[in-house]
Amino acid sequence: MAATTKTWLNNNPPTEEDVDLNGFKNENNNLIVGSGQVLDTGDNQQTHKAVAHYAAGGDYYVDSGVANAYVLGTTGSQIAPPVYFSGMSIRFVAGNINTGASTVNVAGLGVKSIIADFDGSAFVGGEVTLGLNEAYYDGTSFRMMRIESRDQLSFTPTVYGSTGGTAPTGNFLGEYSVLGRVVTFSIHVDITNAGSPTGILNIGNLPYNIGNSHNIEFFVGGFNKIALGVSDILINATGFTTGDFIQFSYDKTNTGGSRSSISASLLVVGSIIDLSGTYWRE
């Protein structure tokens, strides 16, 4: 609360009004009770304990939302900040793993996007885990400080020709996990109908982007068999024979400091393609 202003008159000290004294007392008591303590006139350390409580865990919230839309509330009788402010930190254990772009509403202060701290990118799935999540407010969005998903998450890769035609059909399965910027993935493609794709066969729809790598080509036995796009791995299927096993890697720091990196292995057996490895997400 704001106290009234008092001045000295005729060398006499100002007197405190009851409203001021009671106001200071009430605010101090609210701080103590908000920290989970019971008021005790025999304990003259309760204010210190209350400050220590908020300093140690005042940024921890409880999630009651759903996947991709997290709703955070305070624990016990704690009081949340009245408005968002730059540098405000939050910690919470989510009730659901996110599956795409995500938002958070902290203590009813309003819905804000949650993005990756290192590049400000929107989430695609797996960044919010069932463990402890930590983020800070940058004045516009909450930036997740540590992105980690040790759980295997599913995605559906796409298979198609780079210049069109009829895409192959079959069973296309993908799994991935995330640790910071490193994505570990595995793809199993079982083509049941070869279709008639034209150009280079693409395996696409990988989570995130593989850096800024465009038209990076790998030559095996003098034949161009593999190239990388932003979110695709392009395979010149006509260059393979059944049983081919290829390992490939690429690492580069791009203009502006971003990084393109992938290390993977590819096995082709008849109509089945198995692809696995890691890449540095952009």
Do 178 and 281 meet the contact criterion of CB atoms below 8 Å apart? Answer: yes
- pLDDT of 121-171, one tens digit each? 888 787 888 888 999 999 999 999 876 655 677 888 888 877 888 888 899
With beta carbons less than 8 A apart as the criterion, state whether 249 and 260 touch.
no
The verdict on 140 and 155 lying in the same domain is no
Q: Are residues 224 and 164 in the same domain?
A: yes
pLDDT of residue 94: 94
266 domain-assigned: yes
Residue 95 pLDDT > 90, yes or no? yes
pTM above 0.75, yes or no: no
User: Does residue 97 sit in the same domain as residue 202?
Assistant: no
Max mean pLDDT range (27-31, 204-208, 253-257): 204-208
pLDDT for the residue numbered 1 = 36
**End-to-end CA distance of the chain, in Å?**
48
- Closest to 92 in 3D by CA, of 133, 147, 52, 53: 133
In a domain, 49, yes or no: no
The pLDDT score that the predictor gives to residue 52 is 63
Query: Which of these three, 102, 118, 146, is where a domain ends?
Result: 146
Domain count along the chain: 2
pLDDT at 2 over 50: no
3-state secondary structure (DSSP) of residue 222:
coil
Tell me whether residue 4 is in a domain.
Answer: no
Residues 211 and 241 reside in one and the same domain: yes
Same domain, 69 and 135: yes
- One domain for residues 167 and 118: no
Q: Quick one: DSSP state of residue 77?
A: T
Query: Phi, psi (5° rounding) for residue 120?
Result: 70, 15
Asked whether the predicted pLDDT for residue 3 surpasses 60, the reply is: no
pLDDT of 114 > 90? The answer is yes
Confidence category of residue 213, pLDDT binned at 50, 70, 90:
very low
Length of the chain: 282
| CA 176/CA 241 separation, integer angstroms | 27
Cα 64 from Cα 73, distance rounded (Å)? 8
Residue 132 sits in which domain range?
58-146
Residues 274, 157: one domain? yes
Residue 156 lies in a domain: yes
- Cα–Cα distance list, 174 to 124, 156, 177 (Å): 15, 6, 11
CA atoms of 262 and 281, how far apart (whole Å):
9
Q: Are residues 89 and 155 in the same domain?
A: no
Let me know whether 135 and 155 are in one domain: no
